[in-house]
Amino acid sequence: MKGKITIVGLGPGNKSMMTQEVVNVIDNATDIIGYSTYIKRIKPSKNLNLYSSDNRDEPQRAKDAINLALEGKNVVVISSGDPGVFAMASVVFETIDNGPDLWHEIDIVVLPGVTAMLAAAARVGAPLGHDFCAINLSNNLKPWHLIEKRIRLSIECDFVIALYNPRSKSRPNEFRKTLDILRETCDDNRYILFAKSVFSDEENINIIQLKNAKEDMADMQTLVIIGSSLSKVIIRNKQDFFYTPRVSI
């Protein structure tokens, strides 16, 4: 019997941010596979098999899910945020695309989640209120020259830019170089949001001007949003709100 793969997004942190449909799928799941950090977010139970794996081995995780589905299981693959944003959904499709014909018969459903950029934006107001783009700053799967080109052209088009995976201990250079590009191309009062672990107990939010931005403000739990030239910070009721007007000149 052929099984099914349901690829779901757990949202940014607290369970309250998951969609009801994802909660239902997880409550009824028999087999859940994912990166160990996300598996810890699932409550263990007697009839539930949890398969936790190393984050770096995403293709192997996709193959494990496919093999479970071929055994007839309804397997749930979990990602944080949205599974289609720099996460497991495309890994599963890539693996199936390059695999034997038999794999093409597996049923696949993708269920969305609140991606980090939307969660972070909501915490501070509406920085994504006008045209924006998202860039994964990790150079694990693409060269720096391509990342640099995308950053420079996004600034030229005056997009608001959301940066995922901005900086890790083993990969400190891309974010430092991004700040260098911003200093070369933007006013030093450009606003940058550092949103760490949004919608979790460790949440930490900072809106900083480029002149005060430091590379160690970002890590792998941080989502960075670089405002456009029109993005503003206003103070209302003693709270800072960061937003981008809808009108461009």
- Strand order, beta sheet including 49-53: 49-53, 31-35, 74-79, 4-9, 107-111
Q: Which stretch binds ligand SAH (CB under 6 A): 44-52, 66-74, 84-92, 139-147?
A: 84-92
- Cα–Cα distance measured from residue 147 to residue 151, given in angstroms and rounded to the nearest whole number: 6
- Cα–Cα distance measured from residue 154 to residue 148, given in angstroms and rounded to the nearest whole number: 10
Q: Decide: is 85 part of the binding site for ligand SAH (CB under 6 A).
A: yes
Select 80 or 178, whichever has its Cβ closest to ligand SAH.
80
| 136-165 residues near ligand SAH, rule: CB under 6 A | 164-165
93 near 82, Cβ under 8 Å?
no
Q: Considering only residues 7, 29, 161, 195, which one is a binding residue for ligand SAH as defined by CB under 6 A?
A: 195
Contacts of 131 (CB under 8 A, 6+ apart): 157, 158, 159, 160, 228, 248
Select 73 or 132, whichever has its Cβ closest to ligand SAH.
132
Select 70 or 177, whichever has its Cβ closest to ligand SAH.
177
Select 190 or 196, whichever has its Cβ closest to ligand SAH.
196
Select 103 or 219, whichever has its Cβ closest to ligand SAH.
219
Give the total residue count for the chain. Answer: 249
Q: Considering only residues 13, 34, 112, 127, which one is a binding residue for ligand SAH as defined by CB under 6 A?
A: 13
Q: Considering only residues 62, 82, 161, 244, which one is a binding residue for ligand SAH as defined by CB under 6 A?
A: 82
| DSSP secondary structure code for residue 11 in this structure | B
SS (H, E, C) 115-143: CHHHHHHHHHEECCCCCEEEEECCCCCCC
- Footprint of ligand SAH (CB under 6 A): 12-13, 79-82, 85-87, 115-116, 120, 164-166, 195-200, 220-223
